[in-house]
């Protein structure tokens, strides 16, 4: 299936831990994104990579570090997790000037 797939779907972890979320797309897109959706359902962009190069880095704590080993993958590593990091994290991809994004199914992160 052609899609954006991210793992894990659910992640429950304790404060202070370090965790990673992986994302892969097989759509041939050249740009990938991470969005955070908070409890009020507001989708906010965090990062964008084009052909492995970071092109957007919104105001995000530096505990969040994206890594793109190739243009089909964009992973998100989070250090020293805090309660406020609890949210759903969506990966998405698009062609740079394409119409619309394709979103992954989301990772629900719960920090306890």
SS (H, E, C) 16-60: CCCEEEEEEECCCCCEEEEEEECCCCCEEEEEEEECCEEEEECCC
Closest to other proteins by CB, 81 vs 88, is 88
Shortest distance, position 18 Cβ to other proteins, whole Å: 25
Shortest distance, position 63 Cβ to other proteins, whole Å: 21
| Contact set with other proteins (CB under 8 A) | 31, 33, 40-45, 48, 50, 53, 55-56, 90, 96-97, 99-106
Closest to other proteins by CB, 50 vs 68, is 50
Shortest distance, position 76 Cβ to other proteins, whole Å: 16
Angle at 22 between CA 99 and CA 106, to 5 degrees: 60
Query: Residue 50 CA to chain centroid, in angstroms?
Result: 14
Is residue 91 within 8 Å of 29, Cβ to Cβ? no
Shortest distance, position 83 Cβ to other proteins, whole Å: 21
Closest to other proteins by CB, 16 vs 28, is 28
């Amino acid at each position: 299936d052609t899609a954006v797939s991210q793992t894990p779907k659910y992640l429950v972890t304790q404060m202070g831990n370090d965790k990673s979320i992986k994302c892969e797309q097989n759509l041939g897109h050249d740009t990938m994104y991470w969005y955070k959706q908070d409890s009020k359902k507001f989708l906010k962009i965090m990062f964008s990579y084009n052909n492995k190069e970071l092109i957007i880095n919104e105001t995000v704590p530096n505990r969040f570090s994206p890594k793109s080993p190739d243009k089909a993958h964009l992973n998100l590593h989070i250090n020293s997790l805090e309660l406020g990091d609890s949210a759903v994290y969506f990966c998405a991809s698009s062609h740079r000037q394409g119409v619309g994004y394709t979103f992954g199914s989301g990772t629900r992160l719960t920090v306890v």
